[in-house]
């Protein structure tokens, strides 16, 4: 699956990073970087958790 970030909606709060710091990183400039946008199927539950935790709805999953 692939993680899709809508940069226009992201407000760099970092909830996603707190759930999966190996995948999401808020940089020094405040911009979120998706370090590993392609994720294996066995990580779907964790990625769904990160998507659900985003308060601005900036994240989604594509198959
Ligand atoms: S939780 Fe949402 S708003 Fe916060 S950094 Fe992640 S994608 Fe951006």
- How high is the pLDDT of residue 22? 98
Q: Are 2 and 61 in contact (CB under 8 A)?
A: yes
- How high is the pLDDT of residue 24? 98
Give the pLDDT band (50/70/90) at residue 62.
Answer: very high
37: its two tokens? 């946008």
Domains of the chain and CATH, by start:
2-62 (3.30.70.20)
Instruction: For residue 42, report the distance from its CA to the centre of ligand 1, in Å.
Output: 22
**R_g of the chain computed on alpha carbons:** 10
Residue 51 CB–ligand 1 contact under 6 Å: no
Q: What is the pLDDT of residues 2-59, one digit of tens each?
A: 999 999 999 999 999 999 999 999 999 999 999 999 999 999 999 999 999 999 999 9
Instruction: For residue 62, report the distance from its CA to the centre of ligand 1, in Å.
Output: 17
Residue 38, C-beta contacts closer than 8 angstroms, at least 6 positions apart: 1, 2, 3
Residue 56 CB–ligand 1 contact under 6 Å: yes
């Amino acid at each position: 699956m692939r993680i899709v970030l809508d940069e226009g909606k992201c407000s760099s709060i970092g909830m996603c990073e707190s759930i999966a710091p190996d995948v999401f990183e808020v940089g020094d400039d405040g911009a979120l970087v998706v370090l590993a946008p392609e994720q294996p199927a066995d990580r779907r539950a964790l990625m769904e958790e990160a998507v659900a935790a985003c308060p601005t709805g900036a994240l989604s999953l594509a198959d």
